[in-house]
Structure 1
Amino acid sequence: MKLIKIISFACITLLSSNIFAKTNEAARLFSRAAEFSQVKISPGGDYLSAISQKDDKAMLLILNAKTKQPVHVVFFPGNAQVGRYEWVNDERVVLQKVYLKGWSNQPQYFGELIAVNADGSDSTYLFGYKGAEQQTGSRVKKTNTAIRATATILDPLPDNKRFMLVQALPWGGGGSNTAENTQKVYRVDVYKGSRKKIASSPIPYANFLNDHEGNVRFVSGTKDHVNSTLFYRDNNEWVDTAKLNLNLDAIAPIAFSNEKDSLYVTASESGGTRGVYLLNIKTGDKQLVSRDKVVDPSNLWINKTSKKLYAVEYENGYPTYEFVDSKDPSAVYIKQLLAALPGHQIHIVSQTNNAKKMIIKAFNDRNPGHYYLFDADAIKLEYLVSKKKWIDPEKMAEIKPIHFTSRDGVEIHGYLTLPNGVEAKELPLVVNPHGGPHGPRDWWGFDSQSQLIASQGAAVLQVNFRGSGGYGINFENAGHQKWGTEIQYDIIDATKHVIEQGIVDKERICIVGGSFGGYSAIQSATIEPDLFKCAIGFAGVYDLPLMFNEGDVQGRRAGKRYLKEVLGEDEKLLESMSPTHNVGKLKANIMLVHGGEDERAPIEQLEALEEALEKHHYPYKKLLMDDEGHGFYDDENKAKYYSEMLSFLKTNLKL
């Protein structure tokens, strides 16, 4: 495949290539948000589009695909900005309108969808609580009734120039329990906003699957965030597949097949890893199509034109593809692109209706991502733009998959980031447990925090401990009610493993984590007080019994069921696994970072640990951002945290 001349469709100011000069400079570099994201091509191929930044707010750029010249920019005045968006036909986009509110730096989405033509004409308020009321001074038409619901685009139906499908979560029901309301699907006119309800989910947290004509035929959901159920549509009624005795768990619909009454689903047998099955909903027959013995699918690739499954992506270490239909044009293209861009993973992120032109994202552990325009007829790849062009991949660190056997014989996987140009021997180490703990996992790819730390000469260890998602139901469930014990033992055993390999200096180790990782940082430091020189807890939960009384998890019915399942109700056991009740065991230097508007790990969690530390006269460093939530959104706030974190690590690790 021949690569043509590089063309960039936007001016980017490059930062200094000397990225490792100072702590503050490095912190600013790696905290900076992507300059371009959501790069797409219109269904007819006439326009390119992307989200970029202006005055620290997200805007939508629309460009002529041939000339790369701007056609229109969507930029809201005041505190509004553009969220996610979709092309709904050759000339029209629908976008979320989100708001930056004074109490939080996190954009707030209230369910409003706005449509506009590529040239900026015919802007219409399609869906939201403001409905038909006309705002003074607004140029956005409102031709529909108000609806108190949060909308997401289920399917833009790009072949249908008039309509799209919208999935809506109705408001009401009492506080955070709104999330458990029955979700609806509406057929919405993309010009007028008129709508017709075509389906309602029989189960909360719905995941709908519609066919090419826009008929909603399948839905899965959950009542406890642990177990899920699949329903299919029969004579306008939902039928629970539990009646089929499939002996499958965690069933979720993904794509249709060529066989009548059959579809592809992901599911697990006997608690093992999830696989892809071809399921007949009339006979109950099932056929295993693809499954990895170690990991669940990381991505499922559907041909946007035919809506058929052509590849399953797995990530047991490095990402790999299994091609279910190797003759599918998209499968052929991906194979060619992988050969054309060696060392990169390839994702098709957008394409025209005829699949002749595609937006390709190429990325790896050193490269946050380059976007290309691929012309299938000409077999040409044209560079468009980079997510973070100021990052020089040649100066970034390598991320290597690792695996080891834990103290009780369980195989555990993870990743080790090694500083660029430094021998992997007797290195200082920062252990970085991920959040969750159930559901998320760490992946191979560019990680800003890991690269920042590695730029200062330290290695970074990420561990997919038991309880992590992506390794099968049994592996995830093995972490239930083991938050402060077996999960932490896996993190500690991983640390000892890299010490035994001679990679790490056992006298220079710190642990840093966010959310559940923040809990793990402090909890692991209480279990192995002589192993870690310092521990940084970011947005952590530190008192497990308190989770049943504070925060947004316990506020939902499903959340309470989830907590009872994954934590249990033995208060003495929970206290034994809580850093607030074990600060007397600490020896590490402690830094605590929190957002004042954090609802997931509310400020009461930080205050509980502070009170315990002060009662023991234990010194600690604190960074509090009043207007941030569960994780820092603002670039300046992230840069401040990164700078403080690096200073703390440098002091303790003697970097």
Structure 2
Amino acid sequence: MRIISALVSAAILSTSFLVQASGVEQAELFSRSAEFTSVKISPEGDYLSGVSIDKDTDKRALIILNMKTMKPSYIVNFKGKGEVGSYYWVNNERVVLQKSYKQARIETSAYYGEMLAVNADGSKPKYIFGYKGSAGGTSSSNIKKSSSIQATSYMLDTLPEQEDDILVMAYPWTGKNHAITQVYKVDVYSGKRKKLTSSPVQNANFLVDHDQNVRLSFSQDENQNDLLYYFDKEKNQWLDASDLRGELTEFRPLSFTKDDKSIYAIGAKGLETHAIYKINLETKEQEKVIQHPVVDPSQLWIDEQTKVLYAVEFEDGFPEYKFIDDKNSKAKALNQLMVAIPDHRIRIVSETTDGNKMIVVAMNDKNPGDYYLFDSKKMKLKYLFAEKNWLDPAKMAEVKPIEFTSRDGKQLHGYITLPNGIEHKNMPLVVNPHGGPHGPRDYWVFNSENQLLAQHGIAVLQVNFRGSGGYGPAFEQDGYRKWGAEIQYDIIDATQYAIDQGWANKDKICISGASFGGYSALMAPTIAPDMYKCAVGTVGVYDLEELHDSGDIPESYSGGAFLNEVLGNDAASLRAMSPTHNVHKLKASVLLLHGEEDERAPMEQFDAMEKALKEANYPYEKKVWDKSGHGFYTPESRELYYNTMVSFIKKNLKL
């Protein structure tokens, strides 16, 4: 099979390259999916596993390699529309995986809650959780089934100390998008299950202590208020534990301390940035452990074996690490790895039970990811393979953090991608606002789209405008109900900053973004019409009144409350902030790109923008994908998107 040779050859290769290609061929190279993802090592280190995409079927398969020979011991590759989703090693011989399905009408896969288990050599396959189960029955394949359950399941805990059992969270199918969550102990060989508890509220998650007791339940209500409950074993019931949260908002428990007497949690006090707190379960005393003055934690490091939080990652420009326990073995390993692989973001993605062997991925702005095997006992680091070995990091563009002051005195941060091999002066520029706008932010990472533009000599500007996540509640809330005003001013001010720094040619600037970025790509040029030569709106929202009525946000559990908070309901204000009502202010050339199956920014948004352009007799170009949703998920769709977008930008910037 091609999928086998792809993984095995990748395991052997130790060099990368970027084919000297035309613009069209470059788009294909940057569109390719990673050779493999979700790389893990088995608990005793006998097997290496990863998910790879079969180039013939475009389906995800799980490949399990023998660590000694680096040859496949088994491949999970479902027939028909089935494909591998997330997976977990539950003991040294057995893997539990989620089964998803390719959809006919849309490029993404759907997960219906089915979990299966199989040994590393392919023996003892078993359907252990899902709606297709039947007691003692078998399917047409050799996979035995357990009794059926009408629920969507997710792994809660692999219970490393128990060979046969796992904890599964299940969301029953109630006909609504919210349900009382249930927890089951499931035997990974027989599929037999025992219900342990149900959450006291809807859509809950749980925290398990070191004795494998489900002790905390946390969620939010329809108005986005934090809910927290503690399970009282003596009373055998869930009790309100809001006193643990105290005055903290946006609260989430992370892990128990080693003695199970306290928890680590993340939360915000007032309008400060999010911090990590240690909270005593008996006294309710809160101790602030780590906080950054500018940014929220971007990554939390919890030991796979001890389940204890040991480090926190922040990103104020470049990533940095703060350790809760410097003596923790994982903290020491992380420090050693950062020295061994400098100038990279380091992630420990999997490890053996004894912690002696770890799978590590190293990545940065020029490198999408290299995998290593680290033997912490022998202090040896072995290169395994690259996620995308056809791209040469040496030929990629530098991504440089920037900081500037907005017109009203707010400190803003972002990144500029500087093409390799040319002078960084007077360059053509594409401004790329991120989606959201609330929650997401831009980071110092490898970005395929921006790197592709840089291959054409185009610099790319990203700004974490007010309203972005990651900079504390005050910064995020400062963007509420300001989508079409202050947020756009920040994007425009960032563009002017790039001009003032001498990077950007003021006569060769376009703006291009997706989702909220697509909205900004059409809205910013209505405010600064002489700044942008072209605007590319991808899967964007363009009519904010319509956003209250169509798409999956108003239909979601707390979506209505969210929109009311961040946008409001004033019709005049929503129209003033909508590109559909401001076409007469445009001067930029316009390209609209959309997916017919988009549920987040449905076709009503595209239709409203197209109608407004037609009524104004304003010229525009468009491309609609019939099977794409809120983004382009197959290599073929991404390649067409890249080629369409790059060609339009180059034409309008006269490159």
TM-score, normalised on structure 2? 0.95
- CA RMSD of superposed structures (Å): 1.7
How many Å separate the matches in 1 of 2:404 and 2:238?
45
> Are the counterparts in 1 of residues 513 and 537 from structure 2 also a CA contact under 8 Å?
yes
Letter in 1 for 2:174: G
> Are the counterparts in 1 of residues 224 and 558 from structure 2 also a CA contact under 8 Å?
no
How many Å separate the matches in 2 of 1:647 and 1:225?
44
Query: Quick one: structure 1 residues 45 and 414, their matched pair in 2 at CA, closer, same or farther if it must change by over 3 Å?
Result: same
Residue 40 in structure 1 maps to residue 32 in structure 2: no
> Are the counterparts in 2 of residues 9 and 68 from structure 1 also a CA contact under 8 Å?
no
How many Å separate the matches in 2 of 1:265 and 1:136?
44
* Worse-superposed segment, 510-519 or 208-217: 208-217
Letter in 2 for 1:221: S
Q: In the comparison of the two structures, how many residue pairs are matched?
A: 643
> Are the counterparts in 1 of residues 311 and 331 from structure 2 also a CA contact under 8 Å?
yes
Amino-acid identity (%): 52
> Are the counterparts in 1 of residues 180 and 201 from structure 2 also a CA contact under 8 Å?
yes
CA displacement, residues 483-525 of structure 1 (integer Å, 9 cap, x when unaligned): 1111111111111111111111111111111111111111111
> Are the counterparts in 1 of residues 16 and 389 from structure 2 also a CA contact under 8 Å?
no
1:201 corresponds, among 199, 202, 212, to 199
Query: Quick one: structure 1 residues 506 and 205, their matched pair in 2 at CA, closer, same or farther if it must change by over 3 Å?
Result: farther
CA displacement, residues 257-294 of structure 1 (integer Å, 9 cap, x when unaligned): 14553111111111211010111132221111000000
Find the counterpart in structure 2 of residue 440 from structure 1. Answer: 440
Find the counterpart in structure 1 of residue 110 from structure 2. Answer: 108
Find the counterpart in structure 2 of residue 190 from structure 1. Answer: 188
> Are the counterparts in 1 of residues 430 and 460 from structure 2 also a CA contact under 8 Å?
yes
Residue 229 in structure 1 maps to residue 227 in structure 2: yes
Q: How does 1:56-135 map to 2 (within 5 A)?
A: 56-132=58-134, 134=137
SS in 2 for 1:202: strand
> Are the counterparts in 1 of residues 417 and 461 from structure 2 also a CA contact under 8 Å?
yes
Letter in 2 for 1:423: E
> Are the counterparts in 1 of residues 65 and 72 from structure 2 also a CA contact under 8 Å?
yes
Letter in 2 for 1:479: G
> Are the counterparts in 2 of residues 49 and 60 from structure 1 also a CA contact under 8 Å?
yes
How many Å separate the matches in 1 of 2:321 and 2:642?
35
Displacement of 1:244 in angstroms is 5.1
Find the counterpart in structure 2 of residue 564 from structure 1. Answer: 564
SS in 2 for 1:10: helix
CA displacement, residues 70-111 of structure 1 (integer Å, 9 cap, x when unaligned): 100010111111111010111100111111111111011111
Letter in 1 for 2:196: I
Letter in 2 for 1:503: W
> Are the counterparts in 2 of residues 173 and 181 from structure 1 also a CA contact under 8 Å?
no
Query: Quick one: structure 1 residues 58 and 258, their matched pair in 2 at CA, closer, same or farther if it must change by over 3 Å?
Result: closer
Query: Quick one: structure 1 residues 621 and 389, their matched pair in 2 at CA, closer, same or farther if it must change by over 3 Å?
Result: same
Residue 141 in structure 1 maps to residue 144 in structure 2: yes
CA displacement, residues 346-388 of structure 1 (integer Å, 9 cap, x when unaligned): 1100001110111000111100001111111211111111111
How many Å separate the matches in 1 of 2:91 and 2:619?
60
2:171 corresponds, among 146, 160, 169, to 169
> Are the counterparts in 2 of residues 533 and 588 from structure 1 also a CA contact under 8 Å?
yes
> Are the counterparts in 2 of residues 295 and 471 from structure 1 also a CA contact under 8 Å?
yes
How many Å separate the matches in 2 of 1:18 and 1:325?
41
Find the counterpart in structure 2 of residue 580 from structure 1. Answer: 580
> Are the counterparts in 1 of residues 209 and 260 from structure 2 also a CA contact under 8 Å?
no
Unaligned runs of 5+ in 2: 1-5
* Worse-superposed segment, 560-569 or 191-200: 191-200
Letter in 1 for 2:472: G
How many Å separate the matches in 1 of 2:16 and 2:362?
24
SS in 2 for 1:90: coil
Letter in 1 for 2:308: K
Displacement of 1:158 in angstroms is 2.4
Find the counterpart in structure 1 of residue 405 from structure 2. Answer: 405
How many Å separate the matches in 2 of 1:523 and 1:602?
18
Find the counterpart in structure 2 of residue 4 from structure 1. Answer: none
Displacement of 1:159 in angstroms is 2.2
Displacement of 1:135 in angstroms is 5.9
Find the counterpart in structure 1 of residue 3 from structure 2. Answer: none
Displacement of 1:596 in angstroms is 0.7
Residue 385 in structure 1 maps to residue 388 in structure 2: no
How many Å separate the matches in 1 of 2:390 and 2:226?
43
How many Å separate the matches in 1 of 2:456 and 2:515?
24
SS in 1 for 2:9: coil
Letter in 2 for 1:428: P
Query: Quick one: structure 1 residues 238 and 405, their matched pair in 2 at CA, closer, same or farther if it must change by over 3 Å?
Result: farther
CA displacement, residues 185-213 of structure 1 (integer Å, 9 cap, x when unaligned): 21111111111222322334433211233
How many Å separate the matches in 2 of 1:530 and 1:71?
61
SS in 1 for 2:180: coil
How many Å separate the matches in 1 of 2:117 and 2:250?
36
How many Å separate the matches in 2 of 1:342 and 1:48?
25
> Are the counterparts in 1 of residues 7 and 52 from structure 2 also a CA contact under 8 Å?
no
> Are the counterparts in 1 of residues 181 and 205 from structure 2 also a CA contact under 8 Å?
no
Displacement of 1:455 in angstroms is 0.8
* Worse-superposed segment, 551-560 or 126-135: 126-135
Displacement of 1:224 in angstroms is 4.4
> Are the counterparts in 2 of residues 95 and 114 from structure 1 also a CA contact under 8 Å?
yes
Query: Quick one: structure 1 residues 260 and 88, their matched pair in 2 at CA, closer, same or farther if it must change by over 3 Å?
Result: closer
* Worse-superposed segment, 159-168 or 222-231: 222-231
Letter in 1 for 2:257: S
How many Å separate the matches in 2 of 1:172 and 1:630?
26
SS in 1 for 2:200: coil
Find the counterpart in structure 2 of residue 312 from structure 1. Answer: 312
Find the counterpart in structure 2 of residue 603 from structure 1. Answer: 603
Residue 219 in structure 1 maps to residue 213 in structure 2: no
How many Å separate the matches in 2 of 1:204 and 1:539?
31
Q: How does 1:450-461 map to 2 (within 5 A)?
A: 450-461=450-461
How many Å separate the matches in 2 of 1:87 and 1:136?
24
Find the counterpart in structure 2 of residue 5 from structure 1. Answer: none
SS in 2 for 1:203: strand
Query: Quick one: structure 1 residues 20 and 528, their matched pair in 2 at CA, closer, same or farther if it must change by over 3 Å?
Result: farther
Displacement of 1:403 in angstroms is 1.1
Letter in 2 for 1:209: L
Displacement of 1:555 in angstroms is 1.1
Find the counterpart in structure 2 of residue 275 from structure 1. Answer: 275
How many Å separate the matches in 2 of 1:119 and 1:18?
36
Query: Quick one: structure 1 residues 272 and 205, their matched pair in 2 at CA, closer, same or farther if it must change by over 3 Å?
Result: farther
Query: Quick one: structure 1 residues 202 and 506, their matched pair in 2 at CA, closer, same or farther if it must change by over 3 Å?
Result: farther
How many Å separate the matches in 1 of 2:429 and 2:629?
28
> Are the counterparts in 2 of residues 150 and 168 from structure 1 also a CA contact under 8 Å?
yes
> Are the counterparts in 2 of residues 151 and 169 from structure 1 also a CA contact under 8 Å?
yes
1:157 corresponds, among 152, 156, 159, to 159
Displacement of 1:216 in angstroms is 1.3
Find the counterpart in structure 2 of residue 516 from structure 1. Answer: 516
Unaligned runs of 5+ in 1: 1-7
Find the counterpart in structure 2 of residue 263 from structure 1. Answer: 263
Letter in 2 for 1:605: Q
Letter in 2 for 1:640: L
How many Å separate the matches in 2 of 1:554 and 1:350?
38
CA displacement, residues 522-553 of structure 1 (integer Å, 9 cap, x when unaligned): 11111111111011111111100101111011
CA displacement, residues 550-576 of structure 1 (integer Å, 9 cap, x when unaligned): 101111241111111111010110011
SS in 1 for 2:24: helix
